[in-house]
Amino acid sequence: MTKDCLLIIDDEQDLRNGLKRMLSRRFEALEILTAADAESGLAVIEKFAIDLVLLDIKMPGMSGIEMLEQLGRTAPWLTTIMMTGHGSIEIAVEAIKLGAYDFITKPFDKEDLCRLISKGIERKRLIQENIRLKQQVGDMGSRTEFVGQSEPMRAFLGQLRTVARSNYTTLVRGSSGTGKELTARALHSLSGRHDKPLVMVNCPAIPEHLLESELFGHVRGAFTGADYDRIGLFGEADGGTICLDEVADIPITVQSKLLRVLQEQEIMPLGGGITKKIDVRVIALTNLDLEEMIRERTFREDLFYRLNVVTLRTPSLDEIVDDIPLLVNNFTVQVCKELELPERRFSLRAVNALMQRQWPGNVRELQNIVRRAVMFSTTDVIDIAELQFLEVPLHKSTNYSDTHALDGDDQIIEYKAAKEQAVDDFTMKYIVRLLQATKGNVSHGADVSGVSRTALQKIMRRYNINGADYRV
């Protein structure tokens, strides 16, 4: 296994050597290189495969901030941790806005530093895994838009690749907002039919009296207004793929016609007496319980089995919570491009909060929240305060007046977790209100709250709150 590589850049030789000795003992699998200044560090990065950079802010020549800006242009995948003295906290916060992963103040607390290094390595591996997964899923370039590396998502994508290689009729099931239409497009794009038509049909959008004609075509004079022959959507998809979105909404009167098409692979235009052979792969999408509809006699059982040759079930967002950081980053980049905004990013604290809440609307709901947050953001970093301003609930719904920490199906969550959640909620709201009242004046806020200025700054750093955001 290839070793991860850390580069320490600091103009103090004793500090470099001391850090290298200490970190080498704590991280045996970590290769550690050093550089005395930014220029030398850039040369090392060009020559070696560096994964993590520990970068001092104040150095002779090019400063750490200047180097960070250059790395943002030339090596944006690098995980950079800034080192700074106690008097340079504001500069360190500025570094975070420029893309640094985190910062640590001198003199170091060894455990804090080691924890940051561990998280930095984990982040690097997450980025690599996401790149690997995209390459694995998209053997044919950018034909899919799935983002994720959680176990449920890996399993789903593996099934998707396997199913895509076949021509079997496929039923895609899943809750609203889980990417069923995206799945259909990926199945077509990764199939041998990718250079043939993909016809998407929104079944509920077509009036019942027109659906048969739209799907299978008609001949001139078949009904009032049929002034010319129409090939139909199945005919347009010949050689390619047709996707029947919300297939459960097809009227029972049309279901029998669809069944014949699936059985015989031929269509008969409305008003015509001659059938036409077609070669079409059918993908059907639904979020409804088809088995229940069969019992209620609103969906044909024989049609169900024709559609259900192969089934793919799209995972809900609650099943792939670990993919939320990747999804948030992906959506943020998309929205910034759409709105032509400078680069934005969510704070680690905000992402963690999004991971703690429930998602009845699944990935689509997350995407909409990211869109709103980016649209209304006034800074480069979107934190919890801005999510709260948008009235985004940040925790799983809990009825404390009744069960005091119920999670899911009436299962009591651990006391420690419930307590930490409650303390975090209180602390976050208190600090935001405090800074709003004092207009971002940390010294005044410390006097009002009875907390020392140093302690207040530490709390603000923990929750990624910047006093400057509240100044008039």
Burial of 420 (0-12, 13-18, 19+ CB in 10 A): exposed
Determine whether 287 is exposed, middle or buried from the number of CB atoms within 10 Å of its CB (0-12, 13-18, 19+).
Answer: middle
Q: If 0-12 CB within 10 Å is exposed, 13-18 middle and 19+ buried, where does residue 91 land?
A: middle
State the sign of the Cα–Cα–Cα–Cα dihedral 111, 115, 120, 122. positive
Closest-CA residue to 112 (of 456, 462, 466): 462
DSSP-assigned beta bridge partners for residue 54: 8, 81
Cβ contact 471:440 at 8 Å: yes
Whether residue 99 lies inside any domain: the answer is yes
Please report the pLDDT score of residue 402 as a whole number. Answer: 35
Instruction: Report whether 184 contacts 312 (CB < 8 A).
Output: no
Q: Are residues 309 and 322 in the same domain?
A: no
Q: For residue 129, what pLDDT is reported?
A: 62
By CB atoms closer than 10 A (0-12, 13-18, 19+), residue 277 is exposed
Q: Is residue 183 domain-resident?
A: yes
pLDDT at 88 (0 to 100):
63
Any idea what the CATH number is for the domain that residue 54 is in?
Answer: 3.40.50.2300
DSSP code of 52? E
Domain count, the chain: 4
**381 and 433 belong to one structural domain:** no
- Look at residue 138 and tell me if it is in a domain: no
Same domain, 215 and 325: no
Q: Model confidence over 424-468: pLDDT tens digits?
A: 777 888 888 888 888 888 888 888 888 888 888 888 877 778 777
The per-residue pLDDT for range 139-189, each reduced to its tens digit, is 433 445 688 888 899 899 999 999 999 999 999 999 999 999 999 999 999
Distances (CA, A) of 154 to 6, 133, 182, 185: 29, 8, 16, 18
The answer to whether residues 300 and 323 belong to one domain is: no
**Helices H / strands E in the chain, number of each:** 19, 16
3-state secondary structure of 8: strand
Q: Check whether residue 429 and residue 386 sit in a common domain.
A: no
- To the question of pTM greater than 0.85 for the whole model, the response is no
Exposure string of 212-250, with b = 16+ CB inside 10 Å and e = fewer, is: bbbbbbbbeebeeebeeebebbbbebbebbbbbbbbbbb
pLDDT at 385: 81
Last residue within a domain, chosen from 264, 281, 313: 313
Residue 379 is part of a domain; what is its CATH number? 1.10.8.60
Give the domain-ending residue among 285, 313, 341.
Answer: 313
Question: 142 in a domain, yes or no?
Answer: no
Tokens of 11: 């103009």
Q: Are residues 300 and 380 in the same domain?
A: no
What confidence score (pLDDT) does residue 471 get? Answer: 73
My answer on whether 230 and 191 are in the same domain is: yes
The total number of residues shown for the chain amounts to 472
- Regarding whether 237 and 109 lie in a shared domain, the answer is no
CATH of the domain at 182: 3.40.50.300
Task: Produce one character per residue of 198-208: b if its CB has 16 or more CB atoms within 10 Å, e if not.
Answer: bbbbebeebee
The token pair at 470 is 């509240």
The reply to whether 22 falls in a domain is yes
What letter does residue 378 receive in the DSSP assignment?
A: -
**Is residue 146 one of the residues assigned to a domain?**
no
Considering the domain architecture, whether residues 173 and 115 belong to the same structural domain is answered as no
Picking from 340, 368, 394, the residue at the C-terminal end of a domain is 394
pLDDT, averaged in runs of 10, over the chain (472 residues):
84 92 91 94 91 91 90 83 75 78 85 89 74 49 66 92 94 94 94 94 88 87 76 92 95 92 90 86 95 94 96 94 90 90 86 86 92 88 81 55 39 61 77 84 83 82 76 64
The reply to whether 105 falls in a domain is yes
**β-strand partners of 200:** 243
Q: Which residues contact 95 (CB under 8 A, 6 or more apart)?
A: 57, 64, 65, 68, 82, 103
Residues 308 and 322 in one domain: no
Find the helix packing angle between 151-164 and 110-137, rounded to 10°: 10
Residue 143 is assigned to a structural domain of this protein: no
Instruction: Give residue 446's domain range.
Output: 401-472
Contact call for residues 427 and 459 (beta carbons, < 8 A): yes
Give the contacts of 387 (CB within 8 A, at least 6 positions apart).
Answer: 350, 353, 354, 369, 373, 394
Q: Are residues 157 and 299 in the same domain?
A: yes
Cβ-proximal residues to 142 (8 Å cutoff; 6+ apart), any chain: none
In this structure, the answer to whether residues 382 and 411 fall within a common structural domain is: no
